[in-house]
C-alpha cells in the first residue's frame, strides 16, 4: 500500500527506495507514533488527499498543491547570512486559531501536508498543540535547532504526524559562518536528543558557492545518517529580500553537476533525499526525488495571511483571511506564476527567470510583502539576467509557435 500510494500520488517518494525506508522508519518509531505517521503521511497525504485534489481540480479548473507552507511567526533568535525573512517585520504573528483556520481550509481542498516556517517556528510552542490536535494532517517544521528545550521535545513525542527538519549549511565551519558561532554544535545536540527519544527528523541544506562541495559529499551525508536523519532536503540558494547575497547563487551548470553527484552518492544511503528548485535529465531511480521549482506549485502564507507563490517571490495578490484558500489557487497571479514554472520545466523561476517573474508581478499588480519588495526584486532581475536552459529552450519555442 505504501509504494502503490506513492505511485498514484505522483512520485512524492521514489518507489525503488520506499520499502527500505519504510521498514527503517517502522523499526525506529514507537508503535503509536508509527501509526500516526502512516495515517497522516501515507494514507491521507499520498492517497486520500491526492484523490480529493484531482477531483477538485477538475471542478475548479485549477491546480492544487500537495503542500502549503505557513509562516506563523517571523521572530527568530538568529540573524543568518542572506536570510529571506530578514526583510520582514519580526513583530507580526499569526494566532493559533488562524493557523487552525488555514489547516481546516487546506483539508477541505485535499491538502494534507503543511510546512511550518519562520522566523523560528519553535519560538511558538503553541504551534505544537495545533499539530497534536490535527493528527490526520502531515506536518514538517523547519528549525534552526537552537530552541529545542525539554518542553518542546516532550511535545514532539506526542506528534507522530510531524517531521522536524534542521537547517544547516554543512559542517561547523560552513554552518557557523552562515548562522553564528556555536549553532552547529547546538543543532547536533538537538539531533542527538531527538534520536534518543526516537523522534523522526531530517536535515535541510541550502546549496551555494561557499558550501556546495561540502554538502554534496559522502562525508556530510555520512554525518547526517549517523546523526539519525531519515530525510534530507536540498535547495539551490535563491537570493531574496534586502539581505540577499547574489554572488553566492549557483549557475545552472553548477546546480546540474552537483545534483548529478547527489544522485550517485545517494546509492549508499537509505535516507530519502529530495532535490528542490531544479529538475535535470536522468532522475535518479534510487533514493533521490526531484521536486523542481516550488513557486506556484506550493505557497507560503505570511503572518498577515498574505499568500506568496514561494518565500523567494515575496509578493501576493490574495489574503487567506480575507478571501479564503480556494481563491488563491484560482487567482490569476498564482496561475501565471505556475504557468511560468511549467514553461521552464520546473526550474526555479526566481533564480533563472527573474525578469519574467517581475513582468508577472507588475502585470498582476501584486503587492510586496514588505515595503522594499518591488525595488529589491527589480534590482535583482536587472543585475542577474535569465540563465537560458538548454532543456527548456525547445519547449518554450514550440509553445510560442503554437
> Is residue 359 assigned to a domain?
no
pLDDT tens string 209-242: 999 999 999 999 999 999 999 999 999 988 887 7
- As separate numbers, helices (DSSP H) first and strands (DSSP E) second, the chain gives 19, 12
**CA end-to-end span of the chain:** 41
Domain range enclosing 294: 2-330
pTM for the full model? 0.89
Which CATH number characterizes residue 83's domain? 3.20.20.70
**Confidence band (pLDDT; 50, 70, 90) for 291?**
low
Q: How many domains does the chain have?
A: 1
Burial of 129 (0-12, 13-18, 19+ CB in 10 A): middle
Residue 200 in this model has a pLDDT that exceeds 70: yes
Query: Which of 310, 305, 304, 306 lies closest to 292, judged by CA?
Result: 310
Is 377 domain-assigned? Answer: no
Query: Looking at residue 244, what is its pLDDT?
Result: 79
Is 335 inside any structural domain? no
pLDDT tens digits, one per residue of 69-106: 999 998 999 888 878 776 676 778 999 999 999 999 99
- Residue at 326 is within a domain: yes
Give the span between the Cα atoms of 354 and 44, in whole angstroms.
35
User: Does residue 321 sit within a domain?
Assistant: yes
pLDDT band at 328 (very low <50, low <70, confident <90, very high): very high
Cβ pair 311, 300 in contact under 8 A: yes
Closest Cα to residue 166, out of 233, 250, 66? 233
Dist CA 153 CA 145 (whole Å): 12
Task: Give a yes or no: residue 127 inside a domain.
Answer: yes
Amino acid at each position: 500500500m505504501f509504494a502503490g500510494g506513492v505511485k498514484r500520488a505522483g512520485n512524492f517518494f521514489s518507489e525503488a527506495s520506499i520499502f527500505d525506508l519504510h521498514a527503517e522508519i517502522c523499526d525506529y518509531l514507537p508503535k503509536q507514533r508509527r501509526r500516526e505517521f502512516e495515517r497522516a503521511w501515507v494514507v491521507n497525504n499520498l492517497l486520500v488527499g491526492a484523490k480529493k485534489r484531482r477531483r477538485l481540480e477538475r471542478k475548479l479548473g485549477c491546480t492544487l498543491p500537495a503542500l502549503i507552507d505557513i509562516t506563523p511567526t517571523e521572530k527568530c533568535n538568529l540573524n543568518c547570512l542572506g536570510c529571506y525573512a530578514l526583510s520582514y517585520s519580526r513583530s507580526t504573528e499569526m494566532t493559533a486559531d488562524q493557523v487552525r483556520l488555514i489547516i481546516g481550509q487546506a483539508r477541505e481542498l485535499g491538502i494534507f501536508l503543511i510546512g511550518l516556517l519562520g522566523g523560528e517556528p519553535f519560538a511558538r510552542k503553541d504551534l505544537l498543540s495545533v499539530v497534536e490536535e490535527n493528527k490526520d494532517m502531515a506536518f514538517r517544521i523547519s528549525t534552526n535547532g537552537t530552541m529545542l528545550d525539554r518542553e518542546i521535545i516532550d511535545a514532539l513525542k506526542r506528534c507522530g504526524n510531524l517531521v522536524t527538519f534542521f537547517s544547516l549549511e554543512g559542517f561547523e565551519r560552513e554552518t557557523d559562518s552562515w548562522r553564528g558561532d556555536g549553532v552547529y554544535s547546538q543543532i547536533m545536540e538537538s539531533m542527538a536528543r531527538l534520536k534518543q527519544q526516537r523522534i523522526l527528523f531530517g536535515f535541510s541544506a541550502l546549496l551555494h558557492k561557499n558550501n556546495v562541495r561540502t554538502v554534496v559529499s559522502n562525508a556530510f551525508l555520512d554525518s547526517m545518517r549517523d546523526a539519525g536523519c531519515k530525510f534530507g532536503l536540498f535547495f539551490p540558494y535563491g537570493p531574496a529580500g534586502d539581505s540577499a547575497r547574489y554572488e553566492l547563487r549557483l549557475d545552472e551548470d553548477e546546480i546540474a553537476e552537483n545534483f548529478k553527484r547527489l544522485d550517485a552518492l545517494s546509492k549508499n544511503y537509505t535516507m530519502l533525499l529530495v532535490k528542490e528548485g531544479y529538475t535535470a535529465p536522468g532522475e535518479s531511480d534510487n533514493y533521490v526525488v526531484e521536486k523542481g521549482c516550488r513557486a506556484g506549485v506550493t505557497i507560503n502564507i505570511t503572518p498577515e495571511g498574505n499568500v506568496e507563490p514561494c518565500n523567494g517571490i515575496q509578493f501576493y495578490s490574495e489574503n487567506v483571511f480575507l478571501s479564503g484558500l480556494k481563491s488563491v489557487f484560482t487567482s490569476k497571479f498564482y496561475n501565471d506564476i505556475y504557468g511560468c514554472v511549467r514553461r521552464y520545466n520546473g526550474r526555479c523561476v526566481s533564480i533563472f527567470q527573474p525578469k519574467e517573474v517581475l513582468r508577472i508581478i507588475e502585470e498582476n499588480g501584486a503587492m510586496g510583502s514588505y515595503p522594499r519588495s518591488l525595488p529589491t526584486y527589480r534590482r535583482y532581475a536587472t543585475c542577474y539576467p535569465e540563465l537560458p536552459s538548454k532543456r527548456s529552450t525547445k519547449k518554450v519555442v514550440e509553445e510560442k509557435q503554437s
